DNA sequence: TCTGGGGTCCTAGGACCC
DNA sequence: TCTGGGGTCCTAGGACCC
């Protein structure tokens, strides 16, 4: 086996981050809420043990929360993001080759570490993250990314592994595949798991032993790659450089239903400002945008109206001013009075790098001026946070903005970022 | 009363072209 | 009488991820 990959992730990420700064939460059941405080998106181990379910609406979990005194907190993304950056930085000191996979997960390439005691190395990483950041992690090491993820999953549950599992012999890999349910394999979701079970494929080991043609036929080429990775054949390398996004979306549910065009315009302008900022951060332009909104689908007694309007731009741009004006045109084209809107969003599409720009002879906009203004806005935004400078169309009241009833301080960033403190 | 947000990739089918 | 077929592009929808 040539390649060797390490997967590390933060245990109960959001709950663990809060506990660093609020140690009184240690040992207590804790649930972290989605944007708008709608549902539960993260739980401490104690909350999991009480039967609080991932994705469960808050009101449904309320009986358990009240009965056992589960502590509830709103999401705090500035804080999560900051701690995530520190986690990945720490991880990166252990290999020259690193992939930042998500806010709480990363991969390292250990292919040249054949002389290293891998178990010990994994334990050192785990201890270091704990010492430097106070975050609990688990580590899996194996020949492919899929197997490293699987090793990590077992490490989390096994008392013997103590949070670090190395799978680098055929016997160990076979034993591991046998104890993992097919639905717990990375890339096998609910639909595929149900389908596979009907064919008698129950474990990860079963999946590793289907034929290539079966995998391709039933799970597409993506599934075939998973099967090969389970057999130890690497099909996915680490992504060292994050690829530029092909689509950029900003959408939110409203804290209160929105019924007027005025407020909807504020929200759309605000979301577009955010998307345009993301677009410029990755040094791209876009040639298409969409605006969409919906009423509350969980409320069948209210009249429902969802719509989406897409506009192709005559000249690709990343100017907030231009994108907002097109977005408002799109919105006006589809907005209807008489509905209680629950959510809106914008989507940027047909994204291309700044270098591939092509002009249009009918272009009447002074792009140089826009560019200077955007640069100035971006400097302020990155130094002082979003919202320090904004367009008039974004509004100032933002009565529609999302609910955060259980807010916390941004402990590591700015004290003035305090949302609501209880 | 109250149900997240932001992405990726693949496939099938239709339009269109020569 | 016999009414092609292959390629490409685009889009919608479905699956997955955290």
Dist CA A382 CA A404 (whole Å)? 23
pLDDT of A384 strictly over 80: no
pLDDT digit string (tens) for A154-180? 999 999 999 999 999 999 999 999 999
Nucleotide nearest to A220 (CA to C1'): B10
**Sheet containing A40-43, strands listed edge to edge, beginning at the edge strand earlier in sequence:** A40-43, A30-33, A71-73
**For residue A416, is pLDDT > 60?**
no
CB A353, CB A257: distance < 8 Å: no
Domain extent listing, chain A: 248-394
Mean pLDDT of A125-142: 98
CA atom of A345 to C1′ atom of C10, Å: 23
- pTM exceeding 0.75: yes
With CA atoms as reference, report the closest residue to A16 among A100, A122, A129, A134.
Answer: A134
Q: Please name the nucleotide lying closest to A252, CA to C1'.
A: B5
Measured to protein CB atoms, the chain B nucleotides within 7 Å are: 1-11
Q: How far apart are CA A171 and CA A174, in angstroms?
A: 5
Beta strand A5-10 with A105-109 is antiparallel
Q: Which whole number is the average pLDDT over A314-326? A: 93
Q: Which pLDDT does position A422 carry in this prediction?
A: 30
- pLDDT mean over A118-135: 98
* pLDDT of A417 strictly over 70: no
CA A245 to chain CA centroid, Å, is 13
CA–C1' gap, A226 and C18, in angstroms: 18
Q: In angstroms, what CA-CA distances link A197 with A27, A193, A214?
A: 38, 6, 14
CA-to-CA distance for A74 and A14, rounded, in angstroms? 10
Residues A235-258 have pLDDT tens digits of: 999 999 999 999 999 999 999 999
CA closest to B3 C1', residue: A57
Residue A357: its pLDDT value, please? Answer: 59
Q: Could you say which residues 79-108 of protein chain A have a Cβ atom less than 7 A away from any atom in strand C? A: 101-105
Instruction: State the nearest residue by CA to the C1' of C17.
Output: A187
A84, A77, A53, A189 alpha-carbon torsion, rounded to 10°: -60
A415 or A51, higher pLDDT: A51
List Cβ neighbours of A82 (8 Å cut-off, separation of 6 or more). Answer: A410, A412, A413
Mean predicted confidence (pLDDT) in A204-228: 96
- The whole-angstrom separation of Cα A367 and Cα A341 is 35
Q: Which chain C positions have some atom within 7 A of a protein CB?
A: 14-18
Look up the CATH architecture of domain A248-394: 2-Layer Sandwich (3.30)
The set of residues, in sequence order, having a beta carbon less than 8 Å from that of A77 and lying 6+ positions away, is: none
């Amino acid at each position: 086996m040539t390649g060797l990959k390490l997967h590390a992730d933060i245990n109960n990420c959001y709950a663990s981050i809060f506990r660093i700064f609020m140690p009184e939460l240690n040992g207590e059941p804790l649930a972290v809420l989605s944007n708008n405080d709608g549902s539960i998106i993260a739980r401490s181990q104690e909350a999991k043990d009480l039967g609080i379910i991932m994705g469960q609406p808050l009101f449904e979990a309320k009986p358990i929360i009240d009965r056992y005194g589960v502590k509830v907190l709103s999401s705090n993304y500035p804080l999560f993001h900051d701690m995530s950056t520190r986690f990945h930085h720490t991880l990166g000191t252990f290999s020259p080759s690193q992939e930042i996979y998500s806010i709480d997960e990363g991969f390292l390439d250990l292919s040249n570490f054949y002389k290293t005691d891998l178990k010990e190395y994994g334990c050192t990483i785990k201890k270091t993250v704990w010492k430097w950041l106070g975050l609990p992690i688990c580590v899996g090491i194996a020949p492919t990314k899929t197997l490293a993820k699987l090793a990590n999953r077992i490490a989390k549950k096994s008392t013997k592994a103590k949070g670090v599992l190395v799978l680098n012999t055929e016997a160990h890999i076979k034993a591991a595949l046998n104890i993992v349910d097919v639905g717990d394999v990375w890339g096998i979701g609910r639909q595929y798991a149900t389908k596979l079970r009907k064919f008698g494929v129950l474990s990860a080991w079963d999946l590793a032993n289907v034929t290539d043609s079966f995998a391709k036929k039933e799970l597409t080429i993506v599934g075939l790659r998973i099967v090969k990775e389970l057999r130890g054949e690497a099909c996915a390398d680490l992504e060292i450089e994050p690829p530029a996004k092909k689509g950029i979306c900003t959408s939110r549910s409203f804290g209160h239903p929105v019924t007027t065009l005025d407020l909807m315009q504020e929200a759309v302008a605000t979301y577009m400002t955010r998307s345009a900022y993301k677009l410029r951060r990755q040094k791209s332009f876009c040639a298409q945008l969409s605006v969409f909104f919906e009423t509350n689908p969980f409320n069948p007694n209210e009249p429902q109206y969802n719509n989406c309007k897409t506009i192709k731009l005559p000249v690709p741009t990343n100017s907030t001013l231009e994108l907002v004006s097109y977005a408002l045109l799109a919105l006006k084209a589809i907005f209807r009075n008489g509905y209680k809107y629950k959510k809106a969003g914008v989507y940027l599409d047909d994204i291309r790098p700044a270098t591939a720009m092509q002009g249009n002879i009918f272009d009447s906009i002074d792009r140089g001026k826009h560019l200077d203004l955007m640069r100035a806005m971006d400097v302020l935004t990155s130094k002082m946070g979003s919202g320090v400078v904004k367009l008039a169309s974004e509004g100032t009241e933002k009565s529609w903005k999302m609910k955060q009833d259980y807010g916390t301080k941004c402990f590591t960033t700015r004290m003035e970022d305090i949302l609501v403190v209880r």
